[in-house]
């Protein structure tokens, strides 16, 4: 019954989306306030209806309703409750429902809190959202219905891929989707602005926080995926440049560019057409990420033959959304009036350079991902593009970006001069030399990539702190004065400092782990020892053990350094009988300078000897910590009062109210 209720709610949501997509547009055109207000009601109704539909499906998974096909295919009564719930979106149908749920929630939130928006812009943006939702409701209902019943019901479910039974991966897709769908807001605003023919500072002020929200979620989502790959796949690596990862990375690059170009629109009234273009591209890449890659179309043309209805539907939808937006952009874009002019050496110039490099990087990833397909379409030849291509393209693009990132924030708006900025960065240059010298003395393996990464990380981190120090007049004013300035710093400025510093820390982690990873593979009998990166590992033997829905071999290792105990590590190799699959659970002991990482493999002979792989992953923790700082930076910037509801009016009140409050 609840399942039918969910299905029915989804059909109702489709109808509501149709209303929301048409009447408010008419209202905005005629300047009829009542018609425009339909958007608000409809968006909230959609949010509730899709919420009911999603809750119904989650309920079916929680109670293991094996009369529902999707539950049978992806769940099992033995699974822990957390993974029963996460199983809801661990498959195509359920993940599509999650996608439209997030879309509806974003629409609902905009409708609810968007009170201070110009009514016509709001009505149009919500109408565009409704059209997106309409397309995807139709897709779900016609080709991927999660509420399909199974007659007769099954006795038990067929489980969920055990690799997916993991907290990292249970929450990886929802965060990615929050990011992907979050960019739909920027997209809807961009289309609404094109229909209206106007992009101004107020528009940018609305687009930026939504983009920032999406960016924060996407950053978390991508990192959860990388973190999961790191500890679960048992290779000690965290990024493989595979199409699925690239698909989430492209919207991240474009979204990062959008985040920065929107600043220029807001502050300087320039780069309007470009920002609108980026908003369309970012969401287009998000769609590509969700649909083309997930459906397998991108990785294999053959997926169409397997499920032609879905494939063709998705392709048609993408063609209409992206092609339609670009057509609208070509038609209406030229009428967007550019405002402020600026010199190449200026804050705007720096942001533009950032945009160019990020866009080229996104394009390079797109080409690298699509190239095998395109190449084959042209020449019938075979080619495969792997990490060497991406590393060769990426490093030359990211290096200048990171160099410029330290300089850009030091430049004034409109017109700047490089030399004073560079003079202020002498500390950063000293840091680069210092870090290079320290690394030189510590490593035996001379990796250019590693040195470059460490040097850039030091440059960016210190450069960012120099900018902060300048703002709060550190060492130039009494320390109490500096601290007071720090406390009063606009949250958006603080957010930038944190995000840039976080990236620097993450780059150090990437460089260290990428260049100086140590790997030892050997057969160890109980009692054997092996020394990796100064740590001595003793294999204490392996015992069979069992979990709720798996059986495992657990190997125990004690680690010492110079005779002093460091850690006891327990690595598992699990076997899930229902799914007939094996997974490795690496044992990881994080330290400040790197992770000790142990994987246990097959038993070699009867005396208990096992294949073991032992890694030392230097600096890897810095990567996770750096991303966490970036995300905190994004959140801090979001809390800037200029982004809060009704900010302009409240700020005016502050100017008058502030003095009295202090006295």
| Burial of residue 471 (number of CB atoms within 10 Å: 0-12, 13-18, 19+) | middle
Report 538-567 residues binding other proteins (CB under 8 A): none
Binding status of residue 380 toward other proteins by CB under 8 A:
yes
State whether residue 400 is helix, strand or coil: helix
Q: Which of 304, 394, 413, 593 binds other proteins (CB under 8 A)?
A: 304
**Where does this chain touch other proteins (CB under 8 A) — which range of 131-139, 212-220, 319-327, 491-499?**
319-327
Q: Write down the least CB distance from residue 128 to other proteins, Å.
A: 18
Torsion of CA 343, 348, 353, 358, to 10 degrees: -160
Nearest distance, CB of residue 383 and other proteins, angstroms:
7
Between CA 415 and CA 286 the distance in angstroms is: 35
Q: Which two tokens stand for residue 239?
A: 């990024």
- The stretch among 117-125, 259-267, 367-375, 490-498 that binds other proteins (CB under 8 A) is 367-375
Residue 152 touching other proteins (CB under 8 A): no
- Options 168-176, 445-453, 490-498, 575-583: segment touching other proteins (CB under 8 A): 575-583
Distance of CA 136 to the CA centre of its chain: 21
DSSP state of 77: T
DSSP-based three-state secondary structure for 120: helix
Binding piece for other proteins, criterion CB under 8 A, among 374-382, 497-505, 585-593, 629-637 = 374-382
Contacting residue, 97, 281, 397, 627, with other proteins by CB under 8 A:
281
When the beta carbons of 116 and 161 are compared against other proteins, the nearer one is 161
Residue 139 neighbours by CB distance under 10 Å: 20
Per-residue b or e along 306-333, where b marks 16 or more CB atoms closer than 10 Å to that residue's CB = ebeebbebbeebbeebbeebeebbeebb
What Rg do the C-alpha atoms of the chain give, in angstroms?
Answer: 27
Q: How many residues bind other proteins (CB under 8 A)?
A: 42
- Contact residue for other proteins among 61, 137, 239, 277 (CB under 8 A): 277
Which window, 6-14, 299-307, 388-396, 645-653, contacts other proteins (CB under 8 A)? Answer: 299-307
Nearer to other proteins, 251 or 626 (CB): 251
> Which SS3 state, helix, strand or coil, does residue 618 take?
strand
Query: Measured from the CB of residue 390, what is the shortest distance to other proteins in angstroms?
Result: 15
Whether the CB-CB separation of 634 and 215 falls below 8 Å is answered with: yes
Q: Which of 59, 158, 267, 471 binds other proteins (CB under 8 A)?
A: 158
Question: Dihedral of CA 338/342/345/347: which sign?
Answer: negative
582 is a contact residue toward other proteins (CB under 8 A): yes
What's the closest the beta carbon of residue 385 comes to other proteins, in angstroms? 11
Q: Tell me: cis bond preceding 570? Omega within 30 of 0 counts.
A: no
Judged by CB under 8 A, the residue of 373, 395, 489, 530 near other proteins is: 373
Q: Does 303 bind other proteins (CB under 8 A)?
A: yes
Q: Could you tell me the smallest distance in angstroms from the CB atom of residue 186 to other proteins? A: 16
Q: Is the separation of the CB atoms in 96 and 57 below 8 Å?
A: no
Tokens of 234: 């048992």
Site for other proteins contains 94 (CB under 8 A): no
305 is an interface residue for other proteins by CB under 8 A? yes
**17 versus 186: smaller Cβ distance to other proteins:** 186
How many CB atoms are closer than 10 A to CB 412? 12
Residue 99: helix, strand or coil by DSSP?
A: helix
Under the binding rule (CB under 8 A), the answer on residue 382 touching other proteins is yes
Q: How far is CA 659 from the centre of its chain?
A: 42
Angle at 149 between CA 143 and CA 150, to 5 degrees: 110
Enumerate binding residues for other proteins (CB under 8 A): 73, 158, 161, 273, 277, 280-281, 296, 299-306, 315, 319, 322-323, 326-327, 329-330, 333-334, 370, 372-374, 376-378, 380-384, 579-582
């Amino acid at each position: 019954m609840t399942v039918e209720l969910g299905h029915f709610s989804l059909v109702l949501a489709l109808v509501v989306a149709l209303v929301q997509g048409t009447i408010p547009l008419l209202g905005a055109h005629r300047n009829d306030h009542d018609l425009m207000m339909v958007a608000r009601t409809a968006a909230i109704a959609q949010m509730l209806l899709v919420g009911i539909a999603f809750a119904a499906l989650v309920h079916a998974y929680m109670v293991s309703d094996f009369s529902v096909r999707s539950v049978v295919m992806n769940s099992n009564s033995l699974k822990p409750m957390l993974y029963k719930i996460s199983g809801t979106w661990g498959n195509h149908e359920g993940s599509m429902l999650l996608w439209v749920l997030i879309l509806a929630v974003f629409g609902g939130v905009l409708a609810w809190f968007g009170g201070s928006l110009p009514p016509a812009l709001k009505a149009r943006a919500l109408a565009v959202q409704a059209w997106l939702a309409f397309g995807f409701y139709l897709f779900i209902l016609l080709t991927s219905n999660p509420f399909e019943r199974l007659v007769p019901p099954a006795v038990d479910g067929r489980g969920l891929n055990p690799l997916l039974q993991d907290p990292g991966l249970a929450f990886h897709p929802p965060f990615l989707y929050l990011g992907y769908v979050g960019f739909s807001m920027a997209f809807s605003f961009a289309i609404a602005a094109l229909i209206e023919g106007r992009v101004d500072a107020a528009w940018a002020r609305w687009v930026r926080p939504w983009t920032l929200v999406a960016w924060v979620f996407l950053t978390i989502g991508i990192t959860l995926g990388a973190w999961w790959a790191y500890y679960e796949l048992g290779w000690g690596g965290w990024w493989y440049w595979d199409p699925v990862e690239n698909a989430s990375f492209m919207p991240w690059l474009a979204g990062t560019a959008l985040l920065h170009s929107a600043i220029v629109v807001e502050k300087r009234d320039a780069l309007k057409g470009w920002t609108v273009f980026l908003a369309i591209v970012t969401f287009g890449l998000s769609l590509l990420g969700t649909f083309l890659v997930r459906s397998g179309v991108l990785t294999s043309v053959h997926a169409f033959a397997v499920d032609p209805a879905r494939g063709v539907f998705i392709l048609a939808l993408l063609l209409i959304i992206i092609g339609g937006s670009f057509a609208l952009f070509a038609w209406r874009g030229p009428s967007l009036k550019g405002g402020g002019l600026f010199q190449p050496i200026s804050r705007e110039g720096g942001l533009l350079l950032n945009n160019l490099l990020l866009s080229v990087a996104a394009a390079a990833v797109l080409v690298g991902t699509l190239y095998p397909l395109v190449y084959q379409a042209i020449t019938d030849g075979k080619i495969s593009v792997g990490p060497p291509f991406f590393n060769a393209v990426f490093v030359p693009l990211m290096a200048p970006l990171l160099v410029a990132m330290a300089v850009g924030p030091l430049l004034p708006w409109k017109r700047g001069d490089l030399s004073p900025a560079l003079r202020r960065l002498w500390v950063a240059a000293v840091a680069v030399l210092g870090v290079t010298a320290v690394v030189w003395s510590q490593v035996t393996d001379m990796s250019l990539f590693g040195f470059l990464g460490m040097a850039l990380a030091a440059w960016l981190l210190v450069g960012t702190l120099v900018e902060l120090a300048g703002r709060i007049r550190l060492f130039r004013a009494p320390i109490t004065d500096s601290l007071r300035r720090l406390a009063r710093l606009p949250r958006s400025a603080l957010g930038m400092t944190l995000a840039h510093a976080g990236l620097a820390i993450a780059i150090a982690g990437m460089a260290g782990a990428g260049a100086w990873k140590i790997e030892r593979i050997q057969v160890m009998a109980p009692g054997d020892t092996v020394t990796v990166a100064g740590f001595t590992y003793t294999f204490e033997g392996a015992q069979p053990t069992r979990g709720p829905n798996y059986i495992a071999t657990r190997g125990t290792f004690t680690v010492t350094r110079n005779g002093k105990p460091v850690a006891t590590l327990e690595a598992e190799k699990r076997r899930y009988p229902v799914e007939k699959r094996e997974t490795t659970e690496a044992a990881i002991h994080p330290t400040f300078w790197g992770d000790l990482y142990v994987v246990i493999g097959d038993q070699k002979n009867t005396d208990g000897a096992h294949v073991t792989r032992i890694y030392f992953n230097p600096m890897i923790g810095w990567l996770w910590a750096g991303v966490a700082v970036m995300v905190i930076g994004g959140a801090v910037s979001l809390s800037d009062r200029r982004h809060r509801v009704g900010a302009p009016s409240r700020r005016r009140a502050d100017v008058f109210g502030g003095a009295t409050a202090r006295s």
